[in-house]
Structure 1
Amino acid sequence: MLRKLSLAIAVSCTSNGVVWAADVPTTVKTDLVSVYQEAASNNADLAAARADYGARREVVPQARAGLLPNLSAGAEMMNTRTKLDEPAITSNRSGNSWSATLSQPIFRADRWFQLQAAEAVNEQAALELSATEQNLILQTAENYFAVLRAQDNLASTKAEESAFKRQLDQSNERFDVGLSDKTDVLQSQASYDTARANRIIAERQVQDAFEALVTLTNREYGALQGVVHTLPVQVPTPNDAKTWVETAARQNLNLQATNYAVDAAEETLRQRKAGHAPTVDAVARYQKGDNDSLGFTNPAPQAGVRYGGDVEQTSIGLQLNIPIYSGGLTSSQVREAYQRLSQTEQQRESLRRQVVENTRNLHRAVNTDVEQVQARKQSIISNQSALEATEIGYQVGTRNIVDVLDAQRQLYTSVRDYNNSRYDYILDNLRLKQAAGTLSPQDLQDLGRYLKADYNPDRDFLPPDLAAAAAKNFERRP
C-alpha cells in the first residue's frame, strides 16, 4: 500500500503516541519585524556600541578646546620670615593676592591638526555604529530563521520517525504471519531507533535556537511566524557581480569607516610633525594683592617711606615658544605616526579585499541558492516516487527491507535539504545586501509580507503541492 508523504507530515510522534497537528494548541506568533524592534531596543551589544560612540565623539570638543581661549584664576596667601645677621634684624611679612589669566592660542599647528584628526575619528565612530546597527538586522534574521529552520527540521524528523515506526509495525505484522524473517524486523527497529534519537536532538536544537533569540532581544517567544512557500526565489537584481562589487566599494559601512581611520592617521602624522613648529599665544593677566605678595619695589626707599598698600598689575602680550630639543620625543612620535598610518592603510586594503571577496562569493551563493531550491524541491518529488516504487517492489518480492528503509531515509534527507536551501537563499540575500552596504530594516519588512501567521511546522514545512506532484510523477512511470 502506498504511503504518501502528505500522510507522514500530518502527524507527529510523541512519547504518548501519535498527535494530530490540528490538535496542537495555537499561540500568538511573533513576526520578524517585531523581533527586530525588540532587538533594537534591548540588545546589549548595540547599547554598548551606542555608548562607545557617545564616548568617542567627545574627542572633537576636547580637541577644539585646545584652540579656544583658556581662562584661569588663582589666589595666594603667603607669610615670609626674614632674618639678618648684620645687623641682627628679624622681620615677618605676610600678604594675600589673587590673579586671573586669559590665554588665546594664535598659532598652534599641532592643535589644529589634532582637531582635524578628531573630526575624522568622529565620522569613523558614527559609521562603525551604523555598521553595528546594520549587523543587528542580519543577526535578527539569522536568529529568527534559525528557529524556523530548526522547527522545520524537527517536523521532518518527526515525520521520518513516524514513517519508520509504521515500517516497524508492518515488519512485525509480516513476521507474525510468516511473510518475512527476523532480519526485516531488526533492520526496521534499527532505523526507527536512529530516527527517534535524531528527533530528540532536533528538539534540543529548536530550544537552542529560541535561546539564541532570547540572548539577542532579552525577550522570550512562544512561537514565530513561518515563511510561506510562495516566497519568490529570484536571482539578485542586478545579476552582475561587478555592479555589486562597485556598490560595496562605495557603500560598505566598515570600508567607509576605514577611510576615515586613514584620514585620522594622516592628520595625526601632521600633528606630530607640527611638534617641531613654534607656537604663539596671546596672554592677558590681571593681579591684585599687597606689595609683599606681588614683589612690589618701594619707589622711594631713600625717603624712608615703606609702601604697605595693595597693588594692581595688568599685563598683555604675546608668548612665542620655539621647540629646540625635547630629548628626541617629537621625532619619535613622528616615526610612530608614520607606522600607524601605514598600518591603517594596510588594514583598509585588507578589508577592501575581504569586501570584494565576500560580495562576489555571496552573489555567487544567491544564484546557486536559486538553483538549489528548485533542484531540492524536484528531489523531494523524485525521492517520494522512488520510495513508492520501492515499497511496491518490496511487497511483490523484488526489493528487500533495506531498500525501503534507504529510500525513506533519502526522502527525508531531501526534505531537510530543501528547507535548508530556502533559508540559505533568504540569509545569503541579506548578507549580500550587507556587504554592499544597502541592508536596511525595509528588507525585513519586505520579508514580513511572506510570513504566515498560522504557520504550523508539522503541516507547512513542505509545499502543499509536492504530494500531488509526486503521485502524478509516479503514475507516469512505466
Structure 2
Amino acid sequence: MRPSRLAARERAAKRAPARRTVSASALVMATTLAALMVHTTPAGATDLLQLYSEAQNRDALIASARSAYLANIEALPQARAALLPQVTARWGAVNTHYGSGNVSNTFVSSGYGLTLTQPIFHWDSWQSYQQGKLTVASAEASFAQAEQDLILRVATAYFDVLAAQDDLALAGTHKQAIAEQLASAKRNFEVGNATIVDANEAQASFDQATAQEIAAQNTLDVRRAAFARIVGHPVGSLATLRAGATLPSPQPNNVADWVAQAEQANYAVQLQTLTLETARRETSKAKSGYMPSVDLVAAGAHSNVGNANSLLTSSMSSPSSQGSGPSSAGQIGIQISIPIFSGGAVQSKMRQTLALEDKAMTDLDDARRLAVFNARQSYLGVSSGLAQVKALEAAEQSAQSSVASNKLGYQVGIRINADVLNAEDKLFTTRRDLAKARYSTLLSSLQLKASAATLVDTDLQLLNALLTENPEASAAMAGAREATPASAGAGLPARGVRPGITAPPMRR
C-alpha cells in the first residue's frame, strides 16, 4: 500500500499539473514527447531534463568551453586584418637650438604625416588567413564536443545516483531479510530445533549486510556530491527508471553502419583532420621565406619650420635666417621585398613543419582507430546489455523462487539456515546486477551516439520519457518486473548542424 502522503500528492497533481522548467530545446520537442511520456514526473522529483538544463548554465566545464570558443573564433578576423590596408598617422614637434660664435637661434619645427600600406602579395599572410578559417572550424567542433560531453556527464551522474539509491535500498531489504532469518535461527536454537551454528551464521551474514548498507550509503553520498559539482547545487529526489520500461535498441541495428559513421564524423576525428590541414598550411606558409612580398604604399606629410628667436646681431639679419615656411609632400608606389638569405631559418622551418605534418597524420589515424573502437564497444554494450537485462530478469525470478523454496525447506527441516542465507545473497546480487545492467545499457546507447557525433538534447528527452517519480522505486527493484524487450530506438541521423554550432566540413 502506498503511503497516504504519496496519494495526496497524486491527487494534488491531478488538480494542478506540475510545472517544470526545461531548456529551450526541450520546449521544441514537447509535442513529440507528449505521446511518449505516458508516466509523467510530478513536481516532487527532479528529472533528467531539468538537471541538464541547470547544468548548461552552471557547469564550469561547459562555461569554460563556451569562453574558449568565443576566444578562438577571433582568430579569423585577426588573420584577415593582415590582408587589409594598414593606415598609420603621425605627428611631431621638435625644438632645435642652434648656436655658433655670437649667433644663437632657436627653431621650432612641427609636422604630421599619413601612410597607407595595402598588401598585394604576402604568401604567409594568405596562409594565415586560411588557418584562421580552420581555427574557427576547430573551435566549433571543440564546443560541439563539449556539449556532447555535458550530455554524457549529466546522464552518467544521474544514473550513477539512481544505481547508488537502488544499491542502498536493496542493501536495506537484504539486511531486513537476514535479520528475520537471524531471529528465526535464534528462536529455533532456544527451543532446541537448531544448533548455535545456524545462529552464528545468520549473525555473520547480518553483520556483512550491515557493512554493505553502510558502504552503499557512502557511495550514494559521494555520487550525489559529484552530481552537485555539475549542476551547481545539491540534488534532491530524482525521478527513477520506470519498472518495466522498454530499453531502446540501436537503430540501425548494424555495427558496420555505426563504425563507418564514427570513422568520419567523430568529433575527435574532425579535430585531427583540421589539425592536419592546419599543419599543411603551416608548411606552405614556411615557403614564403623564398617568396617576395609586394605592397602598395602611399604617404603624405606636412611640416612647418619657423625662426622662434630674433637674431642676436644685426649682421646676421638676412632673409635666409628667418626660417623656412610650411611645406607638403606626397608619394605613392609599389614596394617589393625579396628575401635573399636568412641564415638557414627557412630550411629549418620547413623541416619542422613537415615533421609536425607527419605527426598530425599519425594522430588522425589514431583518432579514427579510437573512434572505431569506441563505436564497436558501445554497440556491443547496448546489444549485450539488452540480452543481459533479459537474462537477469529471468535469474531474478529464479532467485526469488529459490529463496521461497529454501525458506520452506528450512521450516520443514530439509534445508539448513546456510542454504537460506546463500539464496538471499544470490537474490540480492542478482537484483543489484540487474539495476546496474539497465543503467549501463542506457548509458551505452548515449555513448554509441556520441562516438558517431549524433548525440543531441533530443536523446536525453527520449530517456527522460522512461523516468517517473516513485518513492518505492528501489522496492520495485526487489519485486517482479515485466520483461523489457528491445524496441526501436532513435536512429542514426545524418551528420548535420548542432544547435548553435556549424559543423566543420570534412577535409581529405
Band of TM-score, shorter chain = 0.7 to 0.9
Match 2:221 to one of 207, 226, 241? 207
> Residue in 2 aligned with 1:379?
395
Quick check: 1:291–1:308 contact (8 Å CA) kept in 2?
yes
* AA aligned opposite 1:336: Q
C-alpha distance after superposition, 1:360-383 (max 9, x if no partner): 111112111011001111111111
CA apart distance, 1:89: 6.0
Equivalent position SS for 1:314: strand
Structure 2: how far apart are the matches of 1:341 and 1:460? Answer: 57
Partner of 2:347: 331
Q: 1:261 is matched by which residue type in structure 2?
A: T
Deviations 1:440-463 (A, max 9, x none): 110111111111123423432245
Match of 2:49 among 5, 15, 33: 33
Query: How far does residue 23 in structure 1 lie from its aligned partner after superposition?
Result: 7.6
Q: Distance in 1 between matches of 2:95 and 2:361?
A: 60
In structure 2, distance between residues paired with 1:351 and 1:342? 14
Deviation at 1:221, TM superposition (A): 2.2
Tell me what 2:92 maps to. Answer: 76
2:144 to 97, 120, 130: 130
Q: 1:334 to 1:83 in 2, by over 3 A?
A: farther
SS in 1 for 2:460: helix
Q: Which residue of 1 aligns with 2:497?
A: none
* Structure 1 position 326, deviation (Å): 2.2
Map 1:35-54 onto structure 2 (within 5 A): 35-54=51-70
Q: Secondary structure at the match of 2:246?
A: coil
CA distance in 1: counterparts of 2:104 and 2:263, whole angstroms = 82
1:110 match: secondary structure: helix
Secondary structure of 1:179's partner?
coil
Q: Which amino acid aligns with 1:63?
A: A
> Contact 2:48–2:464 at 8 Å: present in 1 too?
yes
Matched, 1:279 2:293: yes
The match for 1:352 is: 368
From the superposition, tell whether residues 462 and 192 of structure 1 become closer, same or farther in structure 2 (CA, over 3 Å): closer
Task: Supply the AA of the counterpart residue of 2:410.
Answer: Y
Which residue in 1 is equivalent to 2:234?
A: 220
| CA-to-aligned-CA distance 1:384-430 (integer Å, 9 cap, x gap) | 21222222332333322222211111111011011111111100111
Q: After superposition, where does 1:360-371 map in structure 2 within 5 Å?
A: 360-371=376-387
Contact 1:230-1:450 at 8 Å conserved across structures: no
Deviation of the 1:275 alpha carbon:
2.6
Pick aligned residue for 1:174 from 188, 207, 214: 188
Aligned residue for 1:221, secondary structure, equals coil
Name the counterpart of 2:251: 237
Partner of 2:494: none
* Aligned-partner residue type, residue 185 of structure 1: A
> Helix, strand or coil for the counterpart of 2:56?
helix
Alpha-carbon distance in 2 for matches of 1:325, 1:134:
50
- The SS at the match of 2:234 is coil
Paired AA for residue 111 in structure 1: S
2:185 maps to a residue whose letter is S
How far, CA to CA, are the matches of 1:458 and 1:254 in structure 2?
38
Contact 2:304 2:325 (8 Å CA) reproduced:
yes
Q: What's the offset of the Cα at 1:184?
A: 1.1
Q: Could you tell me which of 171, 174, 180 is aligned with 1:160? A: 174
Shift of 1:196: 0.8
**Candidates 340, 350, 354, aligned match of 2:356:** 340
Question: 2:340 is matched by which residue type in structure 1?
Answer: I
**Pair 462,445 (structure 1): closer, same or farther in 2 beyond 3 Å:** farther
CA displacement 1:50-86 (0-9 Å, x = unmatched): 10111111111111110101111111222334566xx
Deviations 1:161-188 (A, max 9, x none): 0000001110111111111111111111
SS at match of 1:94: strand
- Equivalent-residue separation in structure 2 for 1:330 and 1:79 (angstroms): 45
CA separation in 2, counterparts of 1:79 and 1:258? 60
Gaps of 5+ in 1: 1-9, 11-20, 294-302, 467-478
- 1:109 paired to 2:123: yes
Matched, 1:151 2:183: no
Is contact 1:151-1:457 (8 Å) kept? Answer: no
Q: Report the AA paired with residue 253 of structure 1.
A: Y
Whether 1:22 and 2:38 are equivalent positions in the alignment is no
- In 1, Cα distance between equivalents of 2:479 and 2:131: 57
Confirm or deny: 8 A CA contact 2:263 2:369 kept in the other structure.
Answer: no
Unaligned runs of 5+ in 2: 10-42, 308-317, 483-508
Q: Go from structure 1 to structure 2 and tell me whether the alpha carbon gap of 1:386 and 1:120 turns closer, same or farther (over 3 Å shift).
A: same
Residue in structure 1 matched with residue 35 of structure 2 by the alignment: none
Q: Output the CA distance in 1 between the equivalents of 2:82 and 2:55.
A: 40
**Within-5 A mapping of 1:293-442:** 305=320, 308-442=324-458
Is the 2:110–2:305 Cα contact (8 Å) retained in structure 1? no
Check whether the contact 2:108–2:305 (CA below 8 A) recurs between aligned residues. Answer: no
CA gap of 1:82–1:328, structure 2 versus 1, over 3 A, is farther
The DSSP-based 3-state class of the residue aligned with 1:208 is helix
Whether 2:442 is the aligned partner of 1:461: answer no
Comparing 371-380 with 303-312, which one deviates more in the overlay? Answer: 303-312
TM-score under structure 1 length normalisation:
0.86
Matches of 2:180 and 2:431, distance apart in 1: 19
In structure 2, distance between residues paired with 1:407 and 1:453: 31
Q: Let me know the Cα RMSD of the aligned residues.
A: 2.2
Kept in 1, the 8 Å contact 2:397–2:480? The answer is no
Work out the CA distance in 1 between the residues paired with 2:283 and 2:396.
Answer: 63
**2:311 aligns to what?**
none
Q: In terms of mean alpha carbon deviation, does 127-136 or 444-453 score higher?
A: 444-453
- State the Cα distance separating 1:246 from its structure 2 match: 0.9
Identity rate of aligned residues, in percent? 31
Answer yes or no: is 1:97 the counterpart of 2:111. Answer: yes
Q: In 1, Cα distance between the equivalents of 2:242 and 2:153?
A: 21
- State the number of aligned residues: 437
Q: CA deviation at 1:286?
A: 1.1
> How far is the alpha carbon of 1:90 from its aligned partner?
5.7
